[in-house]
Structure 1
Amino acid sequence: MKKNIESIFKAHLEPKEVYKGGKNIPPSDKKIYKLSSNENPLGASPKAVAAMKAALEHIDIYPDQTDMRLREALVKDFDGKLSAEQFLCGNSGSEIIDIILRAFINEGDEVIYSNPCFLPYSVFSRWYGAKTIDIPLLSPNYDLDVEGILNAITEHTKIIFLTSPNNPTGTYIPKSLLDDFLERVPKNILIVFDEVYRHFADAEDYVTALPYVLAGHNVLGLNSFSKTYGLAGQRIGYAYTTPTIANYIRLIQKPFLLPLTSIEAAIGALNDSEFIEKTVQTVLDGRKYLAQAFDNIGIKYWPSQANFFIIDPPLPEMEFTDRMMEEGIMVRPVSQFGAPGKVRITIGNQEANEACVKALLKIKS
């Protein structure tokens, strides 16, 4: 009996929305400031670049079979509070999300997330046949809907994604709210706590996943080298969790999972405290500058704990994006992230921030 090739396809992989990353700077005769992808405003860690260059001599041989050297460097970065077996590394934070879903999700399982948020939470979950449940952040401040999430939990719920600071809103989950949530959530659910922007959070009641992992909760802290360390092009991510969860996920990790240059770059970046401090200070200064400028110009924005702002633009989002591009400023419309009509603006260096303000003044006038 003849059958079409479609008969071997997975039924749940029907055409749906896909995650589209930010655009690169197009060819142009004029200066363009890329404030659309939350990249490091200072470039890459010099120590990371030097380590990569030194590694080029050896790219003819296979890299480390495991990520142990990078995990040991992360142990030092976390002041020895975690063991090497508690870390997991991969080719970007997005791949870590994919690995987690492969490890835990069967067709028919449920995953909860809260829009506006990073689109791969839902898109990647559906790759594995999960039912995705969106409990939107609460208006008008994009607060976490704790009661909504708890009420949405069923016997099929496997994973809940929480993000703090959140992309694209820049908002965070206060410690008291997270404490209450983790006390009430069933213990057989994995909490994936995306803290990629944690270095930029300075709120007194901001908290990472670390204390909850140390307390033995089923929590996984998701991180990336793309932002603070300036290594977006190397695609390096890592996570930390309890030894039991980490060792289970490691069962499905491939050998030689990271390129040699990525391993060396990440280890070099972790040792570059001067660059990290300078990056964080540049973002904090820029955040203050832009917030004041938004107030002066009359741009509605949400207070941010990350290296970007979400704003309510003075024009429809796509028209505003195009107008900003005409002025040499790339920004990111975020309807795809669950925030229709809003635009995300990355905090750049002072030159880029001033150019952004100049463009806003021209458009708003």
Structure 2
Amino acid sequence: MKNGIESIFKAHLVPKEVYQGGKNIPPSDKKIYKLSSNENPLGASPKAVEAIKKAADRIDLYPDQTDIRLRQALAQDFDDKLNENQFLCGNGGSEIIDMILRAFINEGDEVIYSNPCFLPYSVFSRWYGAKLIDIPLLQPNYTLDVEGILNAISERTKVIFLTSPNNPTGTYIPKSVMDDFISRVPKNIVVVFDEVYRHFADAEDYVTALPYVLDGHNVIGLNSFSKTYGLAGQRVGYCYTTATIANYIRLIHKPFLLPQTSLEAALGALNDHGFIEKTVQTVQEGRKFLAKAFDEMGITHWPSQANFFIIDPPLPEMEFTDRMMDEGIMVRPVSQFGAPGKVRITIGDAEANETLVNAMRKIMNK
């Protein structure tokens, strides 16, 4: 029997796997290309940088108490198909995931997700005592197991996580599959649709959460300013959903959640349409270049709709990662994401992509 402080610890908060973000660029005399964290290949939006500089003069003051200005800007960005009350902003997409789980999960409730996927779905769910139900993506193409998920639903199921394009596989959920799935999910379950990489998708049958939210389904579209807008270091995320769900989650929204610099940066980046277009173009052109190069080298890879690829490396994943680092290229092994033996490679600018391919050819002696 525990008599110390451990006696009041929550039983489900036992030491388990924790999410570990990508590594930072280490000190080096040579140039290092960071292709491991899916960051923007062009850096940050210039308008966001300028907004941060202006906001720096006010960091001694508390920021906006709420996120209303950003929510209004987001509603406009969505062509006013949604109103500001249907948005929620937070300290990165991860903060939004945490808020959703805090709002809906009690100990013993069930959360369904599909590995390989973004690790916080399971790690954060465990914080609240959820029972984790993993319905893996179907091999060999990493497609959604719709029937498996629907068959796994029980009276305790509260949240289902879907991702499109998916991290770390880059694969997506076609509209016909989503239409069928959403039509069959019970009305008392929240579907979190992570679409953080949506700007990079160009498949004709790609779909976001928007049409399902507009139809009144219990769907939450999860987004971030870290990728397309180049604000990974400012930690700004948001989601949109029905007004009923948004207003409910807003009950646990902290005041002053977004720092002044982050808020102004997001507002600036949202209106930097030229930067957004250039980012998407850079990623899509780089995606074609790398896919062709991987094919020529005989590297197994999966068609991607995101700003990264998952590959089956020519060497064991950690050996490959270390060898690439020796060549000045940072890539990320993704066993932790549920894809053992695989490596994720972010699409960079033209110089980074060419350096990556040359490094891989050198390692493979091709």
1:27 lines up with 2:27 in the alignment? yes
Equivalent residue, structure 2, for 1:297: 297
Question: Aligned partners of 1:5 and 1:243: how far apart in 2?
Answer: 42
Report the alpha carbon displacement of residue 31 of structure 1 after superposing the two structures with TM: 1.0
Question: Aligned partners of 1:135 and 1:359: how far apart in 2?
Answer: 36
Question: Aligned partners of 2:7 and 2:254: how far apart in 1?
Answer: 29
Give matches, 1:209-358, under 5 Å: 209-358=209-358
Gaps of 5+ in 1: none
Question: Aligned partners of 2:7 and 2:160: how far apart in 1?
Answer: 32
Gaps of 5+ in 2: none
Equivalent residue, structure 1, for 2:140: 140
Question: Aligned partners of 1:5 and 1:183: how far apart in 2?
Answer: 48
Cα offsets for 1:113-145 (capped at 9, x unmatched) = 000000000000000000000000000000000
Distance 1:179 1:2, change over 3 A: closer
| Structure 2 residue matching 1:39: 3-state secondary structure | coil
Equivalent residue, structure 2, for 1:178: 178
Percentage of pairs with the same residue: 83
> Is 1-10 or 314-323 further displaced after alignment?
1-10
Equivalent residue, structure 1, for 2:155: 155
Give matches, 1:44-83, under 5 Å: 44-83=44-83
What is the identity, as a one-letter code, of the residue corresponding to 1:66?
A: T
Question: Aligned partners of 1:192 and 1:173: how far apart in 2?
Answer: 13
TM-score under structure 2 length normalisation: 0.99
Report the alpha carbon displacement of residue 364 of structure 1 after superposing the two structures with TM: 1.1
| Structure 1 residue matching 2:38: 3-state secondary structure | coil
Superposition RMSD in Å? 0.9
Cα offsets for 1:54-79 (capped at 9, x unmatched) = 01111111110100000001011101
Question: Aligned partners of 1:219 and 1:158: how far apart in 2?
Answer: 12
Cα offsets for 1:81-104 (capped at 9, x unmatched) = 000000000000000000000000
What is the identity, as a one-letter code, of the residue corresponding to 1:171?
A: T
Runs of 4+ in 1 over 6 A off after TM superposition: none
Question: Aligned partners of 1:307 and 1:336: how far apart in 2?
Answer: 19
Cα offsets for 1:260-279 (capped at 9, x unmatched) = 11110000001100000000
Question: Aligned partners of 1:59 and 1:123: how far apart in 2?
Answer: 33
Cα offsets for 1:4-52 (capped at 9, x unmatched) = 1100100000111000000000001111100000000000000000011
| Structure 2 residue matching 1:305: 3-state secondary structure | coil
Report the alpha carbon displacement of residue 2 of structure 1 after superposing the two structures with TM: 8.8
Cα offsets for 1:209-261 (capped at 9, x unmatched) = 00000000000000000000000000000000000000000000111111011
Question: Aligned partners of 2:240 and 2:358: how far apart in 1?
Answer: 42
| Structure 1 residue matching 2:50: 3-state secondary structure | helix
TM-score under structure 1 length normalisation: 0.99
Question: Aligned partners of 2:316 and 2:46: how far apart in 1?
Answer: 40
Question: Aligned partners of 2:331 and 2:121: how far apart in 1?
Answer: 22
